[in-house]
Chain A
Amino acid sequence: MSAQGAGSRAPRRARGPRRFAALVRKEVRQILRDPSSLLIAFALPLVLLFLFGYGVSLDATRNRVGLVVESSTPVAQDLAAAFRASRYFEVMSGRDRRAFEEDLVRGRIRGILVIPADFAADMASGAAASVQGPSARGPSMQVIVDGSDPNTAGFVQNYARGVVETWARQRAAEAAPRAPAITVERRFWFNPELASRNFLVPGSIAIVMTLVGTLLTSLVVAREWERGTMEAMMATPVSAAELLAGKILPYFVLGLASMTLCVLLAVLVFDVPFRGSAAALYAVSASFLMPALGQGLLISAATKNQFLASQLALLSGFLPAFLLSGFLFEIDSMPRPIQWITAIVPARYLIPCLQTVFLAGDVWPMFLRAMATMLLIGAVLFLLAARSTRKRIG
């Protein structure tokens, strides 16, 4: 023992960085040793990206529908053929709509397209009738959709309308070539092929960072409280700021690493374009991790219990990032009070930035504003977390 006498006491000020490094090293070792944290940081992102990249999409592109042609006239058959040729529909034909009604109830088909018996006759008289005024009855067809899924129902209606219009226009052009009144030129900027993967993949990166920043961090810190290691740490010369920073840095890096993996996969495997700069990507991601980590620390300091921490992180971190961030659902379409709530969801600022950095390029004015907001939220959360992690127990 004697070798450790008072003579070896060096000035204490120089020790801060080394203490900090030790805390970080400890945290890194723990991360590397627990398979569950690595699973969340690296396996879950893979699964998410894989799902969004390869399979899951919001667009209803292949809708199975029943097509009932009640008339065998060439006109009706021609329209039916147009439906069969459409890439949006997978058509099952029949003569009687009742045959399909059960399928609709069972969810086997998304809609029933009915070309009525008098379609051809109305078509023939249509031109004449319309002369008498706009109120006259023209040919019509019915589109019955399964309203229990309004989103898909809307798509089916729109696609059906599109098919009918194109068909009618072609017929008209064959009969009497004449340019339509307004040529609408539609341009989808940034994502002309309208691949929903292109916006879902950047969005899911935000989810992944929320998981690492908030869920994982809150669990890990709550575990230290539960196991009593926090108490042992606090009785050492480590300051509360060092303790918190020692937790933040490793998860900050883990969050960025996880994000980097996602971006590489998105670009190299899923061919999502990346038009912005890496600098912008890391700047917005780093700004986002501040509130995410702050939230995790605050939750764990407030609960000191893993079960509660996980539930709170789920409720206040993961679900809002999924549902209140504009990832899947448009914020503008939500009721006013809920829009107010979204204002404090950090992911809502990150997701548009990520989508932009991938698809549009660097739009700094937008990034800077989002970063400032996220850092502000982060600062508030850190302040609260530091207040509840003062070096005092009880």
Chain B
Amino acid sequence: MAEIVRMSGLTKRFGGAAPALDAVSGSVAAGEITGLVGPDGAGKTTLIRLMTGLMAPEGGELEVFGLDARRAAAAIQADIGYMPQRFGLYEDLTVRENLDLYADLRGLPRAERPEAFGRLLAFTGLEPFAARLAGKLSGGMKQKLGLACALLRKPRLLLLDEPGVGVDPISRRDLWSMVRGLAGEGVGVVWSTAYLDEAEACDRVLLLDRGRLLFTGRPSELTGRVAGRVFKVSGVEGRRRPVLARALDEPGIVDGVIQGEAIRLVVASGRDAGAVPAAVAAPPARVQPAPPRFEDAYVDLLGGGPGGRSRLAEATAARPGSGDGPGDRPVIEARGLTKRFGDFTAARDITFAIPRGQIFGLLGPNGAGKSTTFKMLCGLLRPTGGEGRIAGFDLRRDGAAARNRLGYMAQKFSLYGDLSVAQNLAFFAGAYGLGGRLRRERTALMTEIFDLAPHAGMSAKLLPLGLKQRLALACAVMHEPEALFLDEPTSGVDPITRREFWTHINGLVEKGVTVLVTTHFMDEAEYCDRIALIDRGRAIALGSPDELKARVADAANPDPSMEDAFVALVRDAGREGAA
């Protein structure tokens, strides 16, 4: 395939800081999807902006369509489609008006419009919403509209900056098939992402870390490096989280995650691949080899994930009555929760109970009522009917008492950006009523556990995403809450930080903390003990990840992934609803 972007020794620096891009060389070919993979701060956005000609490189060469990006920015911009991270949509214009605007800007002839709009609207499933304001669309719909706008005239090069963030699995599949189709027509696509299952689906990846290029080539080349070293441990007796924690502290194991009832482990290279997992998983647990994934190889490339110890969990006092003994009162309870906005019912009669020491996942397509349910349960929205309880306190009647027992971490980084790290900690300690010595102790502890001391004086908004996320967790658990509410907690975060995060959560759960989490990422869903799938305001399925997977298993797909389960269950519910 023809190379349409060629870069060699690209360097870009902002101010005196370490370079955002450091001597990056590589290429993008027409007709392929090139993944720009790396954690926040790796330089993905900078690289894309350089390709658009919006930014000039400092050193090195960058050619797009054979033109120098420094000099021929205008010519390049005529032939690219660009979807920035923040959509670039006008929220106070309708879907149709946004399309119109970009059609005019990209010079789409008027005669071709009805056909192009019709196809793009059908393609994105936005037809019924053509007259809706873009600001009122769900996150996934916004991404699709953003893509549609970038595609109005078929570009030669399509640049997508983290299009998968905040998008549900169904929309993400749609996005992928749209983009795949384009690549088939010869368009060169650059898809930047922090998620490695997306990277795995690319034709070729550029793996970036802190401005440097770690790997370039086909994903399978990298994945091949861990072949034969990946195992799935199933049938663990008792609780599986402590087993994982122990496994991660084994020197021979570089990575491990929870996968429903099972545990997935990656053995370090050079070790006896068979003996190590067996050492952690005593019978009756079974150890089976598993097909490697890109993520396994990535973590391995970076030298392995963090250990299994959570200093946070160690510093947390165990809550009595942990476990799921009978008669133990649930910590989080939803009883017939209903929310109506005008004549639109966002959530209808949602009921579940989460016992102490469990992780409960709320999953669902964008705009299906997942967030509404979540918000009602942490007191951000008042239910129209039903009730929510935290540790037995009714959110409506004893709101403050209930809120005192919950910790909250939001998808959008919602700490005070203008305050320093230390000031954020002090504020949240105060907001939860910790005073005097107690406050000093807790903030000192959090600073130590999360290694925040070197950044204590820095404004929170200037932190890299990984640190922001640590700080957010520190602020959420400062007051030792019984219930932890996590709203897409690791959106856009790199796998290493994500593992560190889940190590803490797993540790806390073992100490009796109860967790409610919403997520669009299925590897996160695998950490849950139980999951409620919400669609069109109703809970359409409730069960453990393995139960949900089992429900959709059939001859064609005997071992469905969590994502398969999600997609199938939502589609089935849609069919029933229509019938």
Are A and B subunits of one complex? Answer: yes
A interface vs B, CB < 8 Å? 1-5, 8, 10, 12, 15, 18-19, 21-23, 25-26, 29-30, 33-34, 227-229, 231-239, 391-394
What residues on A are CB-neighbors of B93 within 8 Å? 26, 29-30, 33
What residues on B are CB-neighbors of A236 within 8 Å? 77, 82, 102, 105-106
B56 & A18 in contact (Cβ 8 Å cutoff): no
B80 & A33 in contact (Cβ 8 Å cutoff): no
Q: Once bound together, how far apart are the Cα atoms of A138 and B579, in whole Å?
A: 108
Within 8 A of A (CB), among B56-93: 56, 73-74, 77-78, 80, 82-93
What residues on A are CB-neighbors of B87 within 8 Å? 228, 232
B88 & A2 in contact (Cβ 8 Å cutoff): no
Q: List 28 A-B contacts (CB under 8 A).
A: A1-B119, A1-B182, A3-B112, A3-B116, A4-B112, A10-B107, A21-B104, A22-B103, A22-B105, A25-B101, A26-B97, A29-B97, A30-B93, A33-B92, A34-B92, A228-B85, A231-B84, A231-B86, A233-B88, A235-B52, A235-B159, A236-B77, A236-B82, A237-B77, A237-B105, A238-B105, A391-B54, A393-B55
Q: Measured between C-beta atoms, what is the minimum distance from B76 to chain A in Å?
A: 9
A235 & B101 in contact (Cβ 8 Å cutoff): no
Residue of B nearest to A19 (CB): B105
A229 & B89 in contact (Cβ 8 Å cutoff): yes
Q: Once bound together, how far apart are the Cα atoms of A238 and B84, in whole Å?
A: 16
Residue B181 at the chain A interface, CB threshold 8 Å: yes
What residues on A are CB-neighbors of B80 within 8 Å? 235
Beyond A228-B87, A392-B56, is A12–B107 a contact (Cβ under 8 Å)? yes
Report, nearest first, the 7 A-B pairs whose CB atoms are least far apart: A232-B88, A22-B104, A228-B86, A235-B82, A15-B107, A4-B154, A236-B105
Q: Once bound together, how far apart are the Cα atoms of A233 and B104, in whole Å?
A: 12
Residue B153 at the chain A interface, CB threshold 8 Å: yes
Residue B174 at the chain A interface, CB threshold 8 Å: no
B interface vs A, CB < 8 Å? 14, 49, 52-56, 73-74, 77-78, 80, 82-93, 97, 100-109, 112, 115-116, 119, 149, 151, 153-154, 159, 181-182, 185
A239 & B107 in contact (Cβ 8 Å cutoff): no
The listed residue with most B CB atoms (<10 A of its CB), out of A3, A25, A237, is: A237
Q: Once bound together, how far apart are the Cα atoms of A231 and B49, in whole Å?
A: 9
B88 & A229 in contact (Cβ 8 Å cutoff): yes
Beyond A26-B90, A233-B105, A237-B77, is A8–B112 a contact (Cβ under 8 Å)? yes
What residues on B are CB-neighbors of A392 within 8 Å? 54-56
What residues on B are CB-neighbors of A8 within 8 Å? 109, 112, 153
What residues on A are CB-neighbors of B100 within 8 Å? 22, 25
Chain A interface main SS type: helix
Q: Measured between C-beta atoms, what is the minimum distance from A340 to chain B in Å?
A: 37
Contact for B106 among A1, A3, A237, A393, CB less than 8 A: A237
B109 & A235 in contact (Cβ 8 Å cutoff): no
Q: Once bound together, how far apart are the Cα atoms of A236 and B107, in whole Å?
A: 10
What residues on A are CB-neighbors of B154 within 8 Å? 1, 4-5
Q: Once bound together, how far apart are the Cα atoms of A325 and B88, in whole Å?
A: 40
Q: Once bound together, how far apart are the Cα atoms of A3 and B153, in whole Å?
A: 10
Contact for A1 among B82, B90, B105, B185, CB less than 8 A: B185
Residue of B nearest to A229 (CB): B88
Residue of B nearest to A10 (CB): B109
What residues on B are CB-neighbors of A235 within 8 Å? 52-54, 77, 80, 82, 84, 159
B115 & A3 in contact (Cβ 8 Å cutoff): yes
Q: Measured between C-beta atoms, what is the minimum distance from B561 to chain A in Å?
A: 29
Q: Measured between C-beta atoms, what is the minimum distance from B467 to chain A in Å?
A: 22
Q: Once bound together, how far apart are the Cα atoms of A308 and B112, in whole Å?
A: 43
A394 & B49 in contact (Cβ 8 Å cutoff): yes
What residues on B are CB-neighbors of A228 within 8 Å? 84-88
What residues on B are CB-neighbors of A231 within 8 Å? 54, 84, 86, 88
Q: Measured between C-beta atoms, what is the minimum distance from A394 to chain B in Å?
A: 5
What residues on A are CB-neighbors of B103 within 8 Å? 22
Contact for B54 among A15, A29, A234, CB less than 8 A: A234
What residues on A are CB-neighbors of B88 within 8 Å? 228-229, 231-233
Q: Measured between C-beta atoms, what is the minimum distance from A302 to chain B in Å?
A: 18
What residues on B are CB-neighbors of A238 within 8 Å? 105
Q: Once bound together, how far apart are the Cα atoms of A21 and B101, in whole Å?
A: 9
